Structure 1
Amino acid sequence: MTANNLRRSKHEVIHQQLEKGGFRGPINAKCVECIYDPEAKGTWRQQVQACTSKGCPLFPVRPTPIKVISE
């Protein structure tokens, strides 16, 4: 997969989240933009759950998955 395809995939997730109403969509989109790597293990939610940026103002309200990334 090329870098352009990866960016597009990430872009699609961001766009999908921004279509949600209220605060949740933009929060999810920002977290995806910040940390999501389509080539890394886990879903975008699992990757966001693994975020360690405790100084981020969105850290306490970041989206969390139902299942954690299995090793």
Structure 2
Amino acid sequence: MLLNTDQYNWDHTRAQVVLNWCLSQSNVIVIPKSNSVDRTIENCEASGWSLSPRQVTALNAVYPNGLYSYQELHLLI
């Protein structure tokens, strides 16, 4: 799994990386699920920073045609 590798120096949680990547796509609204205050805080911390061009390229390579459904997006994690 892409996000389980240290190759790309992910400095945030997997959920934050995926949310950040989704937010960087055009014409996308992200509505993350949260079951706790801690998860809500984690989700909020997915903004205010940017993935490196190398990281974005790696994530885009997984989904070359754009964003997919939740069922398919879980493959990143």
Q: Is TM-score (shorter-chain normalized) higher than 0.5?
A: no
TM-score normalised according to structure 2 size: 0.28
Higher relative contact order (CA 8 A, sep 6+): 2
